Structure formats: C-alpha cells, structure tokens
Amino acid sequence: MHHFSWWRLGWSLLLYGAILAVVGVVVGAPLLVLLAGALGLVCWHYWQLYLLVRWLWNGRQFTPPRGSGTWQFAFDGVYFLQRKNLKRRKELGKLLKRFREGTEALPDAVVVINEERDIVWCNKLATTMLGFRWPDDHGQRIDNLLRRPEFLAYIKKQQFQEPLIIPSPVLPMASVEIRVIPYTANETLMVARDVTRLQQLEQMRRDFVANVSHELRTPLTVLRGYLEMIGEDPRLEQGPWGKPHKMMTDQVGRMYSLVEQLLALSRLEARGEPESLKDVDVPALMRKLESDSGALNSDKQHQIHFDIAPLHMRGDSEQMMSAFANLVANAIHYTPAGGTIEVSWKKLADGRAKFAVSDTGDGIAPEHILRITERFYRVDKARSRNTGGSGLGLSIVKHVLSRHRSKLEITSRLGKGSTFSFVIPKELLVNDVLSASNQ
C-alpha cells in the first residue's frame, strides 16, 4: 500500500528542476533546457494518462499496467477499488445464490412480482404448480398467466390478509392456496402451497357430518312420531311412564334440533354466497321473531324491545332469519329472568345498516369471546345444555354472515350484559324501501 505524500512530490519536482538547472548552466542555455524539461514532463504525464485510459476502456487484464512515479498511486488506487468491488460482487452473488437455493428448497411455489405485476423471479415449484415457464415468463404480467377470475379479483382488491384457494392451473384435481406478501415498497412475494390433501380432508369431514346427520334424522323422526302418539294417551300422565316419556321426548327433541343444526351448517358450508340474492324483508322477519320469542320468553318474562327501521336487504331470507333468531334466543337464554333485551335494525350514517341485540345478562369473559363462534363451544356446558343449547347457534350465525359479506361483533361485560351485532354493507341494502306492512 503506497501512501501519497506531498513532500515527496515536492522534493522530486525540486530535484528535477535542480538537475535541469545544472544541465542548463553546463550547456549554457538554462531557459531552453528548463522549457524542454517542462515539455518532457507534460508529455510523460500524458503518456501515463493514456496508459491508464487505455487500460480502463480497452484493457483485457484485470491488473493495471505498471505506472510510474506519482501515477503509480492512481493506478494502484483504481486497482484497489476494483478488487473491493469484485469482492463485494462475489459476496452479493453468494447471498443471492443462497437465497435462491433457500427458496428452491421451500415446499412452496415462490414468485416475486414487481409493482406492474410483472414476474421478476420464480422458483422451480412455481413452474410445476402454477405452470409458469422460467426464464421465458420473466417480465410477463402475472394476471396474464393466471387467468382465473377469483385470482384476478383477489389481486385487484389488494386485500391480502386472507389467503385465496384456487384449483391448480396445471395439476388435475389439485388446489393451491395463494398468499401475497408485499415485502418492499415495490416488490411483492407470492407464495403458493399445495392444499389438495387438506381440502380433501375438509371435504371428507363435511361429507361425514352431513351424511351422519342425514342418516340420524330418519330414525329420530320415527322415534319422535311414536313418542308423540304415546303422549296422546291420557293414562300416561298418571302411570309410571309419564316422567320417562317426558324425558325421552325432551332428549329426542334435543337430538333432533342438533341434527337439524348440523344439517343447516353443512348446507351453509356447501354453498358459497347465495347465488341469487333475493329481497329480504327484515321488518317482516322481525315481526315474526317478536311473536315467536313470546313463547321462548314465557318463563323469564324479559322486557324485549324491537326498534326496527323499514329497511330491506338482499340475501337469503331463511338464512338471515336463522341468524336473527339465534341471536335473540341466546339473549333470552343467557339473561336471568326479568332482564331487558333491545333488538335494533337501523341505517348508519355511512349508508350501511346495523343489526344489534343487547341484553342485560351474564356477559361473557374476554377469553371466551374469541372462541364462542366455534362449533360446540359453550362457556358453561351444563348451563347451556339446560337451555337446550348445542353450541352450534353462533357457528351458524357466523357462516350466514360471512355469506352476506358481514361479520359478527361481540362486546360484553361479565355480569352486565352483551351486545351481538353485525353490519350489512351498502351494496346488500335495498335503498329506501318503506315496507308497507310496517307502517
């Protein structure tokens, strides 16, 4: 490593000048010799510059030619920089190689997309799972290659919290789950996973539940019919079989409603969003609910207030009724006698509509709130069993709402009461329908 020194440079110049002066004096023409010396120096500098430029632009060798004098510093400096760059490039290359090897080793297809949705890079699995060709598809728009409408809508919507499941464009009968992860300001990672097996298992589970429920319904109907027939006999009440008969009737009734709920859930799971969205006369449903809840409320004598706006929505009437009824029935069941229940359906300032049921009941602890929409989840199993609950009601509500682009919101304070509500989006509301029957 050379160190450039002004001193050395100054001394060499001075020495050069002195030699020239001596030679000039000896020859007897000091000025001429000085001029010739200066010209020689300029020419020498140009020659060194020429050597450097020639090597920089045309040189095949990695090492620079040997410069002399002060130029040696410049030549060595350039060489040093070049070596540093080369080292860094090698390190970057290694890093890139490691990253690629890492992504190749992943069991998922990985595609890097830029802001314009062009493919920047993809791994080998992306070629087998999604049918991309690499490197031919480099720079192709991803939405030109994956043309399924669900995928196009997903990419356009730009909401990637939930993954998307689509059939694989190349593998027959296979499903892939797509996740999109924006990872720099203008690059996005798309990861696709083969979920065929999971989907098959999920389908088997659904089919199993649906089939078992269906098969159980017939024997239960027979049992229920005979129990009803037997119950018509006036002698039963006084005889020893009065109490067992009542218990059998109750339990068969519970089993029947459980099977009905399981079947309702299976139907909801099998269907996506209702294909044809029909007019749902919410105020009419509420009037029916009001009269039906009378029977449920006969023991507890709650005060139930309905505050219903004359607002219709679009969806599946039967499904919406089951959601409304489940929430109101829960409020009645889980509120100690003499409570107050408020049921409301109104338009919000932003054009959406909100349905809410508030009660002054037991309330639910926060750790349960997250889980009560799971199937068969009950806060207090014994209590819920007494009310005839199966733990499926809120599951049904959740499914119905997701099919109506809505979500169940629960706020609750232990011992004070709970509010179950959901908001129906603007596009599912029928504008300004004044239900004639509601006036």
Do you find a cis peptide bond into 135, omega within 30 degrees of 0?
yes
In the complex with ligand ADP, the residue whose CB is nearer, 195 or 331, is 331
In the complex with ligand ADP, the residue whose CB is nearer, 82 or 387, is 387
Choose which of 384, 399, 401, 406 interacts with ligand ADP (CB under 6 A): 384
Q: Is 390 in the site for ligand ADP (CB under 6 A)?
A: yes
Q: Is 331 in the site for ligand ADP (CB under 6 A)?
A: yes
Dihedrals phi, psi of 144, to nearest 5 degrees = -85, -25
Choose which of 302, 312, 378, 404 interacts with ligand ADP (CB under 6 A): 378
In 6-56, which ranges are E strands? none
* Rounded least distance, CB 389 to ligand ADP, Å: 3
Alpha-carbon distance of 208 to 216, in angstroms, equals: 12
Q: Is 334 in the site for ligand ADP (CB under 6 A)?
A: yes
Site mask, ligand ADP, residues 410-439, x = CB under 6 A?
--------x---------------------
Q: With the CA atoms of 289, 291, 293 and 296 taken in that order, what torsion angle do they form, in degrees rounded to the nearest 10? A: -150
* Rounded least distance, CB 396 to ligand ADP, Å: 8
Stretch that binds ligand ADP, among 81-89, 273-281, 379-387, 423-431 (CB under 6 A): 379-387
* Rounded least distance, CB 332 to ligand ADP, Å: 9
The helix (H) or strand (E) run that includes residue 211 is helix 196-231
* Rounded least distance, CB 292 to ligand ADP, Å: 16
In the complex with ligand ADP, the residue whose CB is nearer, 114 or 402, is 402
Alpha-carbon distance of 17 to 24, in angstroms, equals: 10
Stretch that binds ligand ADP, among 60-68, 237-245, 392-400, 425-433 (CB under 6 A): 392-400
Q: Is 330 in the site for ligand ADP (CB under 6 A)?
A: yes
Alpha-carbon distance of 332 to 362, in angstroms, equals: 11
Alpha-carbon distance of 220 to 222, in angstroms, equals: 5
Number of Cβ within 10 Å of residue 348's Cβ equals 11
Number of Cβ within 10 Å of residue 331's Cβ equals 28
The two three-digit tokens of residue 89, written as one number: 């490039």
C-alpha to C-alpha distances, 275 to 279, 404, 407, nearest whole angstrom: 13, 11, 19
Pairing verdict, β 417-424 and 409-413: antiparallel
Alpha-carbon distance of 396 to 330, in angstroms, equals: 13
* Rounded least distance, CB 311 to ligand ADP, Å: 24
Q: Is 391 in the site for ligand ADP (CB under 6 A)?
A: yes
In 288-426, which ranges are E strands? 303-308, 312-315, 340-347, 353-359, 409-413, 417-424
Stretch that binds ligand ADP, among 190-198, 215-223, 383-391, 421-429 (CB under 6 A): 383-391
298-327: contacts with ligand ADP (CB under 6 A): 326
In the complex with ligand ADP, the residue whose CB is nearer, 117 or 354, is 354
Number of Cβ within 10 Å of residue 132's Cβ equals 25
**Bridge partners of 353?**
347, 424
In 309-434, which ranges are E strands? 312-315, 340-347, 353-359, 409-413, 417-424, 429-430
In the complex with ligand ADP, the residue whose CB is nearer, 227 or 379, is 379
* Rounded least distance, CB 338 to ligand ADP, Å: 15
Q: Is 394 in the site for ligand ADP (CB under 6 A)?
A: yes
Choose which of 113, 393, 406, 422 interacts with ligand ADP (CB under 6 A): 393
Site mask, ligand ADP, residues 343-372, x = CB under 6 A?
----------------x-xx-x-------x
Pairing verdict, β 175-182 and 164-167: antiparallel
In the complex with ligand ADP, the residue whose CB is nearer, 129 or 364, is 364
Q: Is 339 in the site for ligand ADP (CB under 6 A)?
A: no
Amino acid at 257: S
In the complex with ligand ADP, the residue whose CB is nearer, 316 or 362, is 362
The helix (H) or strand (E) run that includes residue 179 is strand 175-182
Binding residues (CB under 6 A) for ligand ADP: these are 326, 330-331, 334, 359, 361-362, 364, 372, 377-380, 384, 389-395, 418
